[in-house]
Structure 1
Amino acid sequence: MELLIFILNDSDTLEKIMVEFANMGIKGSTIIDSVGMANVLSGCEEFSLFSSLSMLMNNGRTSNYTVLTVLKKERVSKALEIINDVTGGLDKAGTGIAFTVPLGQVIGGSFN
């Protein structure tokens, strides 16, 4: 099993990804409101440059979404493909990031 973690800025993108995940048979994800480092530093006088950078990169948004999804290893590639397709590519600045972490044991939940 793998833990897919992705951080996105756009709630519309998140909703579309969740719909595609459901269509793929992924039954659950945990979604957490989160704040990036640039937003935290934007209020700090020493790093006032971060304020303008943060606003540019996030189109004025002050929060983003961290999504946690436990998947069988063979489903990770398809999930990442969905994320990239819906967002137009995570390689675009300010879009987000995705990565996986291998899981040793998982108790609870149901996974296809």
Structure 2
Amino acid sequence: MQVVFVVLHKTELLQNLLTSLKKAGVSGGTIIDSQGMISYIQESDESYILGSLRLFLEQARPDSKTMFFIINDDQTDLVFDTIDKALGGLKKHNTGIAFAMPITKVEGVVKDDSLF
């Protein structure tokens, strides 16, 4: 098994990505609001008053979405191809990144095909 992580900078592509992954056999995962390190550092370096004023005037919006989901080893190439196509190419600047890591043990994951 693999856990696949996707950090999506172009959040307007999220729905297309999720639909494409579902069609490719990914039956669930987790999506987290996230922010890149550089943008966080730039925001935290601003003066306290400016930062507080910005929070008061603007609604907080995450810069990106981080997703992770578990797949079988034999799905890895299909899932990465699906991600790349759904996002219009991960090699395009500021689209996002994807990577996978092997899982040696997992508990609490139950696949229920009736939900999808």
If the TM-score is normalised by the length of the shorter chain, which range does it land in?
A: 0.7 to 0.9
> Runs of 5+ in structure 2 lacking a partner?
47-60
Seq. identity, %: 28
Tell me the TM-score normalized by structure 2.
0.75
Give CA-to-partner distance per residue, 1:20-75, whole Å, 9 cap, x none. Answer: 11112211010000000121122226xxxxxxxxxxxxxxx751000001000110
Aligned residues of 1:10 and 1:64 also touching (Cα < 8 A):
yes
1:3 and 2:3 correspond: yes
Aligned length: 97
Partner of 2:18: 18
Farther-moved stretch of structure 1 (7-16 vs 67-76): 7-16
Tell me the TM-score normalized by structure 1.
0.78
In the TM superposition, 1:90-109 aligns within 5 A as: 90-107=90-107, 108-109=109-110
Partner of 2:57: none
Once residues 111 and 90 of structure 2 are traced to their aligned partners in structure 1, the CA distance between those partners, rounded to angstroms, is 28
Q: Give 1:28's aligned amino acid.
A: G
Aligned residues of 1:72 and 1:111 also touching (Cα < 8 A):
no
Q: Give 1:84's aligned amino acid.
A: D
Moved over 6 A (4+): none
Q: CA RMSD in A?
A: 1.9
Q: What is the CA-CA distance between 1:109 and the residue it aligns to?
A: 2.2
Once residues 62 and 42 of structure 1 are traced to their aligned partners in structure 2, the CA distance between those partners, rounded to angstroms, is 14
The 1:95–1:111 alpha-carbon spacing in structure 2 relative to 1, beyond 3 Å, is farther
Once residues 15 and 76 of structure 2 are traced to their aligned partners in structure 1, the CA distance between those partners, rounded to angstroms, is 19
Q: What is the CA-CA distance between 1:11 and the residue it aligns to?
A: 2.4
1:39 and 2:15 correspond: no
Q: What is the CA-CA distance between 1:76 and the residue it aligns to?
A: 1.1
Q: Give 2:86's aligned amino acid.
A: V
Q: What is the CA-CA distance between 1:78 and the residue it aligns to?
A: 0.8
